[in-house]
Structures are given as structure tokens and as C-alpha cells.
Structure 1
């Protein structure tokens, strides 16, 4: 089981579903959320400014791509900069409804992305992730 998972999606219903399914699957001890990439970066900026311990960092981010203010790709570009080097141990799983082959190819630009999955999240998906990555 992971200690902390971060879900970033602009859809409040999707976030509620993520929380429900993740809890039911006993996938993590704690779930935090943000509505877009900007809020997610602000969360990480707070961790940096408070000199938080690495054990307090989310181990995994479920990231939507299409969000207002700052989408998933822009978040990944910024999060991959040296400014956020302290979080290199954090892995990302993109959860998206996109079927654009360009998005699937672009994933390779970001070594922190370990998977690209279609929405919605399911208990079976989480069980598969447990066996595959943990």
C-alpha cells in the first residue's frame, strides 16, 4: 500500500470517484486532490517552502491531461524542472479520456510517467497497478 496519492483532475465528480475507488481498493493511506496543474504545483511549492520530509511527499500522481488554467502536459513540463528535483521519486500515471496517438507518444518525453490509462479509474485497474508497479 502506498502512503500518499495525489489526484489531479478538474472534474469534481471524477475526484470523488477516485477517492471512493482508491479507498475501496486499499491502495493508499491518504488521498490529496487538486483541480488543475497550477494547484498541484502550488501544493509542491508549499512542501518545498515548509522543508517537508520526503516521507511526506505523494508517491504517485494520477493526472488528467485536459484541465483549465494548467493542463497535465504543462504540469509535467514544469514538474520535470530542477526546481522540483526533490520530488524525482514521485511517479505519474496519466488518467485521460483522450485517444489521440500523439498523447500516447508524448508520454515518452517524461520518465516520471509510468503508465497511461483510460478513465474512469476502477478497482481492477488499481489491483493491476499494485501487481505491476509495487
Structure 2
């Protein structure tokens, strides 16, 4: 039973995105999954959706920290500028291979970030998100 309509993955690792998409689909976690290898492209997409189809804004975003070009921190800075009435129902999670405690603390200090998870995404992480953040 899928509770989430749309999930967006933002990670420069194409293989990781493929694995994440597969896990999300196999666990029937979301109806739609869209991946972006460039945070700038994801941000452009989110801006367009927020402006043209706010009801189609993703319910959940998995964001990597270390990416070429715009990294996860810069993405969050720009994400904050999107209309709050559109983003308020979207859960943003950091999903990163970064193990630096400073990154974890920094991620959790951003009000937009619900939690930080270490890669790889797993059915257990999805189950935790369902239990802790998604209301039926």
C-alpha cells in the first residue's frame, strides 16, 4: 500500500538513483519516483511544479550532500525560497554517504530537513519514515 504519491531523488550517482528507485518501487513506498543527477535540474523542476502544478509537488525528497555544482547545502538554501504553502507537506531527508558528524548535525539543524540517513537506502529506512513521518 503506497502512502506517498511522489518522491524525488537528488544524487549525482546514477547507480545509487537506480537502486533507490528500485527499492522504493519494490516496497510500494511511492506511486512515482523521479531522479535528478544535478541539484540545479531538480530545483528548476521543483520551481516549475510549485508555480504551474502545486498539487503535483513531491511529498518526499531524498537529497545527497556532496554533489558537483550545487551541493545539498546550496540546494536547501534555494529550496527555502520556494512558496511555503507548496513545500509545507513535503518531507526532505538527507541521504548521503557522508559520515562526518558535522554534516549530520548540520543537516538536522536545518528546519527543512526531517532526518539524515546514511546510504544505501533500505527497506528499513523506508519503514522508519512510514512510521515516524507519514500519517495514514
TM-score where L is the length of structure 2: 0.89
Q: What SS class does the counterpart of residue 99 from structure 2 fall into?
A: coil
Give unmatched runs, 5+ long, in structure 2: none
1:74 partnered with 2:65: no
Q: What SS class does the counterpart of residue 65 from structure 2 fall into?
A: coil
Map of 2:32 onto structure 1: 30
- Count, aligned residues: 131
Q: What SS class does the counterpart of residue 70 from structure 1 fall into?
A: coil
Deviation of residue 102 (structure 1)? 1.2
CA RMSD of aligned residues (A): 1.3
Map of 2:127 onto structure 1: 127
Q: Is the 8 Å Cα contact of residues 108 and 115 (structure 2) preserved in structure 1?
A: no
Mapping of 1:11-22 within 5 angstroms?
11-22=13-24
TM-score where L is the length of structure 1: 0.90
In structure 2, distance between residues paired with 1:94 and 1:118: 8
Q: Is the 8 Å Cα contact of residues 25 and 127 (structure 1) preserved in structure 2?
A: no
Cα deviation per residue 1:76-124 (whole Å; 9 max; x = unaligned)? 011112x443323211110011111111221244212111000001112
Give unmatched runs, 5+ long, in structure 1: none
Deviation of residue 44 (structure 1)? 1.3
Deviation of residue 58 (structure 1)? 0.2
In structure 2, distance between residues paired with 1:60 and 1:78: 17
Mapping of 1:98-109 within 5 angstroms?
98-109=98-109
Q: What SS class does the counterpart of residue 15 from structure 1 fall into?
A: helix
Q: Which runs of 4+ in 1 moved over 6 A?
A: none
